[in-house]
Structure 1
Amino acid sequence: MVSSQETDRTDGLIQLDVLGPSGSYRSRSRATVPDVSGRPAAELSLAPTVYVDRAMAALRRARPLSADERVAAIVRAGRLFATETINGLTVGEYEHAVSRVGGVPIQVVRAATRTALERSAQLHHGLQHARPWGAVGDWRDPLTRAGRAVWTRRGEVFAVHAAGNHPGTHTLWPEALALGYRVAVRPSRREPFTPHRLVTALRMAGFGEDQVVLLPTDHAAAEALLRGADLAYGSDEVIRRYADDPAVLPLIPGRSKILLTADTDWRDHLDTVVESIAHHGGTGCVNATAVLVEGDPAPVAEAIAGRLSVLPSLPPEDDKAILPVQSAVSARALERYVRDRAAGARAHLGGDGFVEELGDGSAVLRPVVHQLERADDPRAGAELPFPCVWVAPWSREDGVTPLRDTLILGAYTDDDRLIDAFLDEPTIANVYLGDHPTYWTATGIPHDGYLAHFLMRTKGVIRG
């Protein structure tokens, strides 16, 4: 077993072992993890199906720590994650690896590290917002003597099929640990460093090896991960095949949008609109991918394009980097896809191409702004891993229909009836009114609903 403080590199590659119920496991089957230039950066051990089956069985046999112990351990893990050398990587080395492999600007990764620290410290407080106000957390609460709802788990083992687009996605699933689940995480090969570091930190902080495991797998073994869990969530294709299963919560594209109505002056809010599009490199589900304008959309599109056009093209590990980076091969493939999809739309930025190669096999994904003719153009719902925005006209006759299937709706309007309609629309997850960027969040505010509402249920209890 490799110590959490030991430098673990072979031939210059960072070794990311399976973290199973009996410690670290370096398998014969390994996947090379390249950086954005295509150079190997790490080796990720892959757990075979039989290993996954045994690990999931071990999680099921394990009993959770007490609630107080779980919360305290998560707080400690957040501090370790954000400050200590783990698996031989300092915080700075970890952040550099995430940036070079995932292509996420280094400042975005650093911000995600700070967020992990903050959310771990506030996790228990945040969960209280999700618990029904009339429910207690333990049947031993004196209130159950007169009859009370008790908040209880829907299962015992939770499987996470992690996304790799942004390290911040890993700040959500520790809620399951806090609620008493034993958790198995299948990391994305696109960026496995964050979940590996976080699972290690949680173990260092007091969670047993049979409480939280990291199981990198191929697709066949990923099915075993789902079979061995009571509940699961994630965003990969394995999860999508089970999207109709009530025990599986698929994480779908955010398709966040902004609406600028005629009763507000969009010029007063241009900074916030542009930040909503480009913040964190445009890589998140909370980034705006469509801007709908009551009136002529052309001036808005031109203004957005003017702001985005001056962003620099830099390697992701540069302190001044803002835009995401991919391998030149994948960037060119994405460019072809977007240009084909945008055929017939008016290009304000990026119409002739948006890939800028850096000369080392990597390329920057520069911003793209297209203008559409109709609010209901399906291209307005296209979510891409860089600042790509579709600007379209909107009218009161269009109503809520073009705004459906939206994670965050940033609405600039004073019309109470419209606001009521937004909140009544079940496919709009969150509504931010006025000058608030779509990436805004705070403790206790749901992301796409509360994850705890998927993990928990209430039971009526009365005792003598």
Structure 2
Amino acid sequence: MPGPATGAALRDAGVELVQLDAFGANGPYRARNRLTVPDVTGEPLAELSIVPPLFVHRALAALRSADPLPPGERAAALERAGRLFASGTVGGLDPDTYRELVSRCSGLPIPVVSAATGIVADAAAQAAGTVLQARPRAAVGDWSDPATRTGAAVWTRRGNVFAVHAAGNHPGVHALWLEALALGYRVVVRPSRREPFTPHRLVAALREAGFGADHIALTPTDHTVADTVVAGADLALVYGGDDVVRKYAGHSTVLPQGPGRAKILVTGGDWRAHLDTIVDSVADEGGTACVNATAVLVEGGPDEAAAVADALAERLAAIPSLPPQHPEAVLPVQPLAAARAIEGYLLRSAGSATAHLGGDGVVDDLRDGSAVLRPAVFRLDRAAAPQTGVELGFPCVWVAPWNRGDGIAPLRDSLVVTAITDDERLLEQLVDEPTISNVHVGDHPTYWMRPGLPHDRYLAEFLMRTKTVIRD
């Protein structure tokens, strides 16, 4: 069977693909080197311009030499950009076409893409206010504030140019870096080649809304040029797996965003009353987000853990397998070969774990070159089993018994812990634990978020610093 046609072959055949140009110092740029972006069935959807190092250097130089817009203009431009992103025609794509393309290329259910579109738009509208939540109460935002006449802390940027190595697993990741623009940074985004439509649309909307070519840039590159983007910026936000976290560990100018490994702990009481919250934490967003629950720890012995695993498996098994662009789709879809590789990794990682769902595999072939990744539920014999750290981009959960002797050790290194417990001493330990970023107490799913509250600490904590200013 022949493979999918290349972009060049399709151009020769007169087939029109969406052109995703780079955005540099001189406006949109269509490179000679273009990468074909396929959907999950292998059908080409777009061509992404891949830029050389010289283009990156020129874009960074333009960003570095520019002055930020005044704060009020930045806030207004961000709000306009959010409206354009959600409901305007940007780069020739109306909102419905944009959402369908993202769903088809990423395999995310289209309801998830639609919800993420609203999240990004809201983040843009609220970014100017959100960043102020992180400012120290004793600090002022400008050196000319009257408080500096007698001496005051002034909140200032740590640099001027901010780079983003974007993730392609979910459009919602692009809500975060908008805060850097709100703070006056000039921003360069290296989009994921897996899903470049969202960053392309967002950067185009920002430029149309009032941020100039010397304020926001989009520089798609191959892997050999990727580090050039980070090296040329003052600060950078980099998404990736454990390898990325290890690579940038100790780099004070790089904020790595790795796996979330969110967990749920249930102690005492009747877990059945909280089953909806547990199921939603696992399956919301198709299980693709860093805030989806990876592990559920249940106080009691193996029988209690088995009962929870059975209940989860029954609920998750009822989710239908549908193509990602179907309006009722819930589960993510991948190219068949990629889905098989993920399935193989899961089954190898499971080892001696007891399968309650997915033990025979999680791939549901849609017979079009793509496959649904169906939910998996595995039971472990102890809370400290290493599998609780295995995070995959679909509803996959490890259930294990937990007892007081385990303490909080199995819950460390978690982006979120939902603790369904009335043990205040245990809650105090969870909140005090440095490797746990967020604690939700009671019936609050792991994916709960609200603008103005930190996700993995405030981004502004990384972007800003205080300095003392006193003036006559």
> In which range does the TM-score fall when normalised by the shorter chain?
over 0.9
Shift of 1:220: 1.9
TM-score for the superposition, normalised by structure 2: 0.95
Shift of 1:309: 0.3
User: What one-letter code is carried by the residue in structure 1 that aligns with 2:286?
Assistant: G
- Residue 418 (structure 2) pairs with residue 410 (structure 1): yes
Gaps (5+ residues) in structure 1?
1-9
Q: Secondary structure at the match of 1:397?
A: helix
261, 265, 268: which one aligns with 2:273 = 268
- Residue 38 (structure 2) pairs with residue 34 (structure 1): yes
- Residue 430 (structure 2) pairs with residue 425 (structure 1): no
User: What one-letter code is carried by the residue in structure 1 that aligns with 2:295?
Assistant: A
136, 155, 160: which one aligns with 1:156 = 160
How many positions carry a matched residue from both structures?
Answer: 455
Aligned counterpart, 1:283: 288
- The whole-number CA distance in structure 2 between the counterparts of 1:239 and 1:154 is 21
Shift of 1:239: 7.3
Deviates more, 1:308-317 or 1:235-244: 235-244
- The whole-number CA distance in structure 1 between the counterparts of 2:227 and 2:282 is 35
257, 262, 267: which one aligns with 1:251 = 257
Superposed CA offset, 1:380-439 (max 9, x none)? 011100000000011111001000000010000001100010011100000000011111
Q: Secondary structure at the match of 2:404?
A: coil
- Residue 352 (structure 2) pairs with residue 348 (structure 1): no
Contact kept? 1:222, 1:238, Cα under 8 Å:
no
User: What one-letter code is carried by the residue in structure 2 that aligns with 1:93?
Assistant: T
Aligned counterpart, 2:397: 389
Superposed CA offset, 1:175-198 (max 9, x none)? 001101110000000100000000
Superposed CA offset, 1:20-74 (max 9, x none)? 1110111111111110001111110001011111111111111111111111100
Shift of 1:244: 2.5
| Aligned 1:17-96 pairs, distance under 5 A | 17-96=21-100
Superposed CA offset, 1:355-382 (max 9, x none)? 0011100000000000000100011011
- Residue 324 (structure 2) pairs with residue 324 (structure 1): no
Superposed CA offset, 1:54-102 (max 9, x none)? 1111111111111111111001100010110111110000000000000
User: What one-letter code is carried by the residue in structure 1 that aligns with 2:265?
Assistant: L
User: What one-letter code is carried by the residue in structure 2 that aligns with 1:323?
Assistant: L
- Residue 300 (structure 2) pairs with residue 292 (structure 1): no
Contact kept? 1:345, 1:370, Cα under 8 Å:
yes
- The whole-number CA distance in structure 2 between the counterparts of 1:459 and 1:158 is 20
- The whole-number CA distance in structure 2 between the counterparts of 1:122 and 1:211 is 19
Q: Secondary structure at the match of 2:405?
A: coil
User: What one-letter code is carried by the residue in structure 1 that aligns with 2:440?
Assistant: Y
Contact kept? 2:68, 2:186, Cα under 8 Å:
yes
Contact kept? 2:267, 2:420, Cα under 8 Å:
yes
Q: Structure 1's 211 and 366: CA in aligned 2 closer, same or farther, altered over 3 A?
A: same
- The whole-number CA distance in structure 1 between the counterparts of 2:434 and 2:379 is 27
Shift of 1:243: 3.0
Aligned counterpart, 1:375: 383
Gaps (5+ residues) in structure 2?
1-13
Q: Secondary structure at the match of 2:45?
A: strand
Shift of 1:267: 0.6
CA RMSD between the two structures: 1.2
TM-score for the superposition, normalised by structure 1: 0.96
Runs of 4+ in 1 over 3 A off after TM superposition: 236-240
131, 138, 144: which one aligns with 1:134 = 138
Shift of 1:137: 0.7
- The whole-number CA distance in structure 2 between the counterparts of 1:69 and 1:451 is 21
- The whole-number CA distance in structure 2 between the counterparts of 1:240 and 1:120 is 31
User: What one-letter code is carried by the residue in structure 2 that aligns with 1:404?
Assistant: R
Q: Structure 1's 240 and 31: CA in aligned 2 closer, same or farther, altered over 3 A?
A: farther
- Residue 189 (structure 2) pairs with residue 185 (structure 1): yes
- The whole-number CA distance in structure 1 between the counterparts of 2:451 and 2:56 is 34
Shift of 1:299: 0.5
* Percent of matched pairs sharing the same residue: 61
